[in-house]
Chain A
Amino acid sequence: MSFSWAKHYEPKSDLTKWLDERLPLPRLVYGAIGGGYPVPRNLNYFWNFGVLAGIALTIQIVTGIIMAMHYAPNALVAFDSTEHIMRDVNWGWMLRYAHANGASFFFIVVYIHIFRGLYFSSYKAPREMIWLLGLVIFLLMMATAFMGYVLPWGQMSFWGAKVITGLFGAIPLVGEPIQQWLLGGFAPDNAALNRFFSLHYLLPFVIAGVVILHIWALHIPGSSNPTGVEVKQESDTVPFHPYYTAKDGFGLGVFLILFCSVLFFAPNALGHPDNYIPANPLSTPAHIVPEWYFWPFYAILRAFTFDFFIVPAKLLGVLAMFASILLLFFLPWLDRSPVRSGNYRPLFRTFFIILVLDVLLLGYLGGAPAEEPYVMLSQLASAYYFAHFLIILPIISKIEKPKPLPFSITESVLGKASSGTAGGPVLQPAE
């Protein structure tokens, strides 16, 4: 760990001394999430969501592994084996509802985590790698969730798979062979279902691996904080344990209350009724929509209605949808403002609020049928989305006059007088 005042693990009993010399696993845990990891003392509740995402991943893996013991990935019986879990497996209904709603809550938590990163510019140096790895996790999550939704083999499973793999068909020349290669056929069928099951089982462990890298990268510079001012002294930090383990414990309780309220009292509210109809390749649903957490991207995909010279509208939509996520990888180099926290950036803050509303609107539009006025609104909302990241953000980072930053985290918490370094120069960003 980087801070000189970080406490070191000291094995007390003979057993832990013996273990420490051979496999210093307790030492690793102590330094990662124990008393040996100094964390800024001023973190707000938005900093709970990293731990919550890890817990949501764990819930998914545990419920998923147990369900895989009862599920059959075969197009003939997949739907019925899902209902077998719901009806005949002991507590199977709870496992499946926990898994389906767990995916939704995983995305809710991760979206809040990402927007926290956007508002407090957690992607800026020296934390670019944490941000990039986080985006890799997000992409893996999307792939995993998409393939998981196919497994019950309901109508939306089938038609969702058809539409999403059809996106690759928009690529010129090689598109159709790629689509057929992905599906193992001309349309989703047993081959697709089997490989999706296989990959749906594999990818969560890949996610877990990248999560380890994400946390490793986090421990190099340490956590960011709401002021965006780097840790300068010991009084800026508290040990992760017991301070943040206690706070995360409380946060976990609140999360589980909300999660269980939906799981037990409205378990189908976030799903689509059509997925309780067995997949039927001969009957197209009136409105094909993905799960709600893909709606903002689905709205961007459908916003392109006109060909751009030789580029067909469908290909434009696919490019834009992928670009809408890939552009986030460039964020550390697009936003050049030396100030991290949105609290000290009035202009940025205004546009950030517009972005949040814009993405919520895109989400609503992505779930709406492809009719007017929804298409026109999604064109406006998508235009703002791209303009925000690619045009507005680089410009405001140049023209904005940030508010003065506190000298240190301690000063921001205790006020100037009580700070050990009172009277020190207030850090002003270069203009």
Chain B
Amino acid sequence: MIRIGAFLVGLFFSGWLLVSFGVGAAAYISEPPQPTAEHEFHLHPKKLALSSDGPMGKFDRQQLQRGFQVYKEVCSACHSMRLVAFRNLTELGYTEDEVKAIAANWPTQTPSIDPATGEPTTRPSIASDYIPSPHANETAARAANNNALPPDLSLITKARHGGAAYVYSLLTGYQEPPAELAKKFPDAMPGPGLNYNPYFANLNIAMANPLGSDGIVTYSDGTNATREQMAKDVAAFLVWTAEPTLEKRHQTGWAVLIFLIIATGLGYMAYRNVWAGVKH
């Protein structure tokens, strides 16, 4: 009984799947799916080598400080960094006094209002404050950005396929839309307020090119602030913001692995020793 029932159930599911396959395949052959603009013009991220890559990776603190400077002077105008507190910046190699100074120049909104004007008031941030967001809420952020919401950047390198390489490619990927795109997919051309960027999922990104020209920041360590360099530095910084514990993870990993390899080697010898003389 069980086998007859099973046979019928199997026949039904397999049979209907094969019928579905046949119908789908016929449709696929008679009307092959049209290639989309994303399929033809979207590019995978460029290669980006950072010192934090790989199992031995460590942060280049000089680079993180440069990246932080780019975030502070460029990105932070629109993008929040909710999960990073000023106190965390000591991990970039800043002293406590430097961190306090950075925080003091970055006002935090207070819950109270100015009794004279009714406007919200601010106070200088302290080290334990989180980096203040440029906009009070999502509505304000959209209102200031042509109805596009600038994503929070704290976790961005973990929240996108390609990670840091994606951020770097996107920042250096702005270009004129190719003539072929206008010819083949006129609908995929950037509309008003949108910019062509082949590294962005649907090719049209609301963010204007933030690193439009070389030298928009002046690095204190003398590094030449080319567009490439700034994009690389801020990508490296965003790897840190997404995972400040990365270095500790790598170091712990090696200690654990070395221990485990020795323990497993001993375990193997114990196993061979116990089984010596017993054929199996």
Binding site for B on A (CB under 8 A): 41-43, 80, 83, 86-87, 93-94, 97, 238, 242-243, 246-247, 249-250, 252-254, 256-257, 260-261, 263-265, 267-268, 273-274, 276-277, 286, 303-306, 308, 316, 320, 323, 327, 330, 333-334, 336, 371-373, 375-376, 379-380, 382-384, 386-387, 389-391, 394, 413-414
Q: Are B159 and A274 in contact (CB under 8 A)?
A: yes
B21 touches A264 (CB 8 A): no
- Check A260–B158 contact: CB distance below 8 A: no
A391/B274 in contact, CB under 8 A? no
Q: Does B252 contact A (CB under 8 A)?
A: yes
Q: Which of B3, B16, B263 contacts A316 (CB 8 A)?
A: B16
Main secondary structure of the interface of A (DSSP, over half): helix
What residues on B are CB-neighbors of A97 within 8 Å? Answer: 249
CB proximity to A under 8 Å, residues B16-30: 16-21, 23-25, 28
Q: How many A-B residue pairs have CB under 8 A?
A: 172
**Are the CB atoms of B2 and A330 closer together than 8 Å?**
yes
A308 partner residues in chain B, CB cutoff 8 A: 16
How far in angstroms is the closest Cβ of chain B from A408?
Answer: 13
User: Besides the contacts A80-B82, A252-B267, A276-B242, what 20 more A-B pairs have beta carbons closer than 8 Å?
Assistant: A83-B83, A93-B243, A243-B275, A247-B271, A250-B270, A253-B264, A260-B260, A261-B253, A261-B257, A264-B253, A276-B158, A306-B23, A372-B33, A373-B28, A386-B17, A387-B10, A391-B7, A391-B10, A391-B11, A414-B279
CB closest chain-B residue, reference A384: B14
Give the distance in Å from the alpha carbon of A136 to the alpha carbon of B161 in the complex. 36
Is the CB–CB distance between B257 and A250 below 8 Å?
A: no
Please tell me if the beta carbons of B159 and A277 are within 8 angstroms of each other in the complex: yes
B256 CB contacts on chain A under 8 angstroms:
260, 264
**Bound form: Cα–Cα A246–B24 in Å:** 54
When C-beta atoms are compared, the residue in chain A nearest to B83 turns out to be: A83
| Residue of chain A at shortest CB distance from B4 | A394
Query: Inside 8 A of B275's CB, which chain A residues have their CB?
Result: 243, 246-247
Instruction: Judge whether B249 and A249 touch: CB under 8 Å.
Output: no
Convert B265-280 into 0s and 1s, putting 1 for each residue whose CB lies closer than 8 angstroms to a CB of A.
0011011011100111
Interchain CA distance A257-B268 in the complex, whole Å: 13
Contact status B278-A334, CB under 8 Å: no
Flag if A94 contacts B14 (CB, 8 Å).
Answer: no
Is B158 touching A94 in the complex (CB atoms < 8 A)?
no
Q: How far is the CA of A334 from the CA of B3 in the complex (A)?
A: 6
- CB B45 to nearest CB in A, in angstroms, measures 12
A389 and B90 CA atoms in complex are apart in Å by 60
Query: Does B261 sit at the interface, judged by CB under 8 A?
Result: yes
Q: Which residues of B contact A336 (CB under 8 A)?
A: 3
Given A94-B249, A249-B270, A391:B261 Cβ within 8 A: no
Tell me the smallest distance from the CB of A316 to a CB of chain B, in Å: 7
Inter-chain CA distance A336–B160, complex, in Å, is 50
**A84 → chain B closest CB, angstroms:** 9
Report yes or no: B260 in contact with A273, Cβ–Cβ below 8 A.
no
Contacts of A261 in B (CB 8 A): 253, 257
Contact A303 B20 (CB under 8 A): yes
CB neighbours of B131 from chain A (8 A):
none
Residue numbers in A under 8 Å from B274 (CB-CB): 242-243, 246
B-chain residues with CB within 8 Å of residue A274 when the two chains form the complex: 159
Q: A383 touching B17 by the CB < 8 A rule?
A: yes
Cβ contacts B173-188/A at 8 Å (1 or 0 each)? 0000000000000000
CA distance A320 to B15 in the complex (A): 12
The CA-CA distance from A286 to B200 in the complex, in Å, is 13
Q: For B20, list chain A residues within 8 Å (CB).
A: 303-306, 379
**Quick check: B263 and A253 within 8 Å, CB to CB?**
yes
Q: Please indicate the chain A residues that have their CB under 8 angstroms from the CB of B17 in the complex.
A: 303-304, 379-380, 382-383, 386
B201 in the interface, Cβ–Cβ < 8 Å? yes
Take A83-B155, A264-B249 as given contacts and tell me if A323 and B9 are in contact as well, using a CB distance cutoff of 8 Å. Answer: yes
